[in-house]
Amino acid sequence: MKKLQKIVFLFFLLLVSCKNDKPDLSFDKEHEKMHQEEKKISEAFTNFDNLLIKLYAESEKRPDKVLRKVDSLLLANKNEKDRYISQIKPNIDRSLHSFKAELFYNIGKYKESISELNIEGDKTGDAAIAYAANYVKLKDFKTAKSFIDSIGNWNGNYYALGNYYESIGDKISALKTYKYNLEEDKSRKHFIYYVWTKKRVEELEKNKPLLNGIFFPTGNPSFEICEICNVDNKKREKITQLLMQIPENLDWSSTTILESPYDTGKSYYWIRVEVGKKELNYYVDQETFEIKYFNPKTKTVMTLDDWRKGK
């Protein structure tokens, strides 16, 4: 579902940019048409997410029945002709296959779960964790570890590694991994994986039983990795609008918030903007919204005027 969210965010950027443009009557109709298209596609995303949430809830009691429903949805999606739903067919297909993989894992059909994961072919991030979870259950620990090693810099990577060590009975390595994660990732203490990691340390230090598996990442749209990560959405939206007004960002293609005050305790956001083949870094004060240029190589912060003079 992360890819769906990214697309919706890009729609937001387009809407904001259009809103800030000076009136141009020659483009009014075209812009209105684009907005309507985006609205319809966004509605299609929302409707699918709501359906998926209902299916996840139903699967808790009748996973077999839901599996049949998912197969029907996959077939219907393949033959979908609706103008707007057709534009998100690949996203729906990926989400449904991921859901099937999760359902098979939950009912102990690990080989079938792996087969569903193979359809997408992604072997990093959440997919790698899902593969590892299945192979641990199949007692193929060597293959499981190879997938753990391919997760990459991803939410839950250290938690999954700690789970793996518990699964093979290595309590010392599990504790070492969990504690390293807690120490190195303090800025993300409001994320669910940090909370889970802290609980595992407490359990292990009380000599509670080791886990016998790795958590399987859920694709449920209602699952919150971080329940309070969106508390500053209004500030982020304002910052986005301000950054889009900077001439150097004219060919803006994407943006990443690398640090936020909530994560770091600092007074500013660190935002990276991709413009063509360049990456521009900015510090934005959370109170005054003053924007400064930041050079990550030299660790230099300067006003936009000083930056422009030195270009």
Would you say residue 114 lies in a domain?
Answer: no
Domain-embedded: residue 215: yes
Last residue of a domain, one of 228, 251, 275: 228
User: pLDDT confidence of 263, banded at 50, 70, 90?
Assistant: confident
Query: Both tokens of residue 52?
Result: 């998926």
Write the pLDDT tens digit of every residue in 215-259: 999 999 999 887 666 678 889 889 999 999 999 998 888 888 888
- Amino acid 3: pLDDT: 41
| Rg for the chain, CA atoms, rounded | 23
Supply the pLDDT for residue 31. 59
* Residue 216: inside a domain: yes
Name beta bridge partners: 271. Answer: 257, 282
- Residue range(s) defining the domain that contains residue 275: 233-310
For residues 4 and 103, membership in a common domain is answered with yes
- Within 13 A of 305's CA, how many CA atoms are on the CB side? 1
Residues 72 and 6 reside in one and the same domain: yes
Label each residue of the chain as H, E or C.
Answer: CHHHHHHHHHHHHHHHHHHHCCCCHHHHHHHHHHHHHHHHHHHHHHHHHHHHHHHHHHHCCCHHHHHHHHHHHHHHHHCCCCCCHHHHHHHHHHHHHHHHHHHHHHCCCHHHHHHHHHHHCCCCHHHHHHHHHHHHHCCCHHHHHHHHCCCCCCCCHHHHHHHHHHHCCCHHHHHHHHHHHHHHCHHHCCCHHHHHHHHHHHHHHCCCCCCCCCCCCCCCCCCCCCCCCCCCHHHHHHHHHHHHCCHHHCCEEEEEEEECHHHHCCCEEEEEEEECCEEEEEEEECCCCCEEEEECCCCEEEEHHHHHHHC
**Position 17 confidence tier, pLDDT thresholds 50, 70, 90:** very low
pLDDT for 24: 53
Q: What is the pLDDT of residues 122-146, one digit of tens each?
A: 999 999 999 999 999 999 999 999 9
Statement to judge: residues 42 and 27 lie in one domain: yes
| Final residue of a structural domain among 78, 107, 136 | 107
**CATH number of the domain residue 131 falls in:** 1.25.40
What DSSP character marks residue 282? Answer: E
Please indicate, yes or no, if residue 84 is contained in any of the structural domains.
yes
pLDDT score of 28 = 61
What is the number of residues in the chain? 311
Q: Are residues 90 and 137 in the same domain?
A: no
Region for 276 from its dihedrals, namely left if φ exceeds 0, alpha if ψ lies in -120 to 50, beta otherwise: left
The reply to whether 63 and 95 lie within a common domain is: yes
For residue 187, tell me if it sits in a domain: yes
- Residues 212 and 247 occupy one common structural domain: no
Q: Are residues 206 and 245 in the same domain?
A: no
* Number of domains composing the chain: 3
pLDDT per residue as tens digits for the range 144-187: 999 999 999 888 999 999 999 999 999 999 999 999 999 876 66
Confidence of residue 78 (pLDDT cuts 50, 70, 90): very high
Q: What is the pTM of this model?
A: 0.71
pLDDT in the model for residue 257:
87
Question: Do both 9 and 39 map to the same domain?
Answer: yes
Q: What would the mean pLDDT of 72-101 be, rounded to a whole number?
A: 93
Indicate the residue among 197, 212, 228 that finishes a domain: 228
Q: Are residues 6 and 84 in the same domain?
A: yes
pLDDT of residue 13: 46
196 and 222 both lie in a single domain: yes
100 lies in the same domain as 1 = yes
Q: Is residue 2 part of a domain?
A: yes
Mean pLDDT of the chain: 88
Residue 112 domain-assigned (yes or no): no
Residue 81 in domain? yes
Same domain, 219 and 249: no
